[in-house]
A = this chain, B = another copy of it.
Amino acid sequence: MAGNTIGTLFRVTTFGESHGPALGAIVDGCPPGLSLSEEYIQEELEKRRPGKGKGETPRKEKDKVHLLSGVFEGLTTGTPIALIIYNEDPQSSAYEPLKEVFRPGHADFTYFMKYGIRDHRGGGRASGRETVARVAAGAVAKRILEEYNIEVHAYTINLGGISAHARDLNFIYQNRLFCPDPFAYEKMIEKIEKTSKEGDTLGGIVEILAKNVPAGLGEPVFDKLSAELAKAICSVGAVKGFEIGAGFKVAEMKGSLNNDPISSQGFLKNDAGGLLGGISSGQDLILKVAVKPIPSHRKTQRTINLLKEEIEIQIGGRHDISAIPRIVPVLSAMTRIVLADHLLRQLAVLAFRKRLPFPHFFDA
**Cβ–Cβ contact B1 & A5, under 8 A:** no
Closest to A83 in B: B15
Q: CB-CB < 8 A to A4: which residues of B? A: 26, 28, 79-80, 219-223
Q: CB-CB < 8 A to A50: which residues of B? A: none
Among B108, B130, B222, B272, contact of A105 (Cβ-Cβ < 8 Å): B272
Q: Mark A68-81, 1 if CB is under 8 A from B, else 0.
A: 11101001011111
**Cβ–Cβ contact B109 & A79, under 8 A:** no
> How many whole Å from A130's CB to the nearest CB in chain B?
6
Among B32, B262, B277, contact of A353 (Cβ-Cβ < 8 Å): B32
Q: Which residues of chain A from 193 to 207 have a CB within 8 Å of any chain B CB? A: 195, 198, 200-205
**Cβ–Cβ contact A301 & B261, under 8 A:** yes
Q: CB-CB < 8 A to A11: which residues of B? A: 2, 5
**Cβ–Cβ contact B250 & A110, under 8 A:** no
Q: CB-CB < 8 A to A264: which residues of B? A: 304, 308-310, 362
The answer to the question of A246 belonging to the interface, with a C-beta cut-off of 8 Å to chain B, is: yes
Q: Which residues of chain A from 69 to 107 have a CB within 8 Å of any chain B CB? A: 69-70, 72, 75, 77-82, 84, 102, 104-107
Closest to A234 in B: B230
Q: A244-B241, A358-B148 are in contact. Are A125 and B79 (CB under 8 A)?
A: yes
Q: CB-CB < 8 A to A24: which residues of B? A: 68, 82
Q: CB-CB < 8 A to A325: which residues of B? A: none
**Cβ–Cβ contact A201 & B255, under 8 A:** yes
**Cβ–Cβ contact B222 & A235, under 8 A:** yes
A101 to B259 CA separation, bound complex (whole angstroms): 15
A272 to B195 CA separation, bound complex (whole angstroms): 21
A158 to B344 CA separation, bound complex (whole angstroms): 39
**Cβ–Cβ contact B203 & A251, under 8 A:** yes
Q: CB-CB < 8 A to A9: which residues of B? A: 1-2, 8-9, 345, 348
Closest to A348 in B: B348
Among B144, B222, B226, B240, contact of A250 (Cβ-Cβ < 8 Å): B240
**Cβ–Cβ contact A293 & B255, under 8 A:** yes
Q: A235-B278, A303-B262 are in contact. Are A245 and B240 (CB under 8 A)?
A: yes
Q: CB-CB < 8 A to A14: which residues of B? A: 26, 80, 221-222
Closest to A11 in B: B2
**Cβ–Cβ contact B205 & A110, under 8 A:** no
The answer to the question of A138 belonging to the interface, with a C-beta cut-off of 8 Å to chain B, is: no
Among B119, B237, B249, B352, contact of A72 (Cβ-Cβ < 8 Å): B119
Q: CB-CB < 8 A to A290: which residues of B? A: 243, 247-251
Can you name 30 A-B residue pairings with CB atoms under 8 Å? A2-B223, A4-B79, A13-B80, A20-B68, A20-B69, A32-B116, A78-B349, A104-B262, A109-B262, A109-B281, A111-B220, A114-B216, A114-B349, A125-B221, A200-B255, A202-B254, A230-B233, A240-B248, A240-B273, A250-B293, A255-B297, A256-B297, A256-B299, A262-B302, A263-B304, A265-B362, A265-B363, A266-B362, A308-B362, A347-B348
Beyond A13-B28, A109-B361, A251-B291: 14 further Cβ-contacts under 8 Å?
Answer: A1-B29, A1-B344, A3-B219, A3-B221, A3-B224, A79-B124, A104-B261, A107-B279, A160-B251, A215-B359, A230-B242, A240-B247, A247-B290, A253-B293
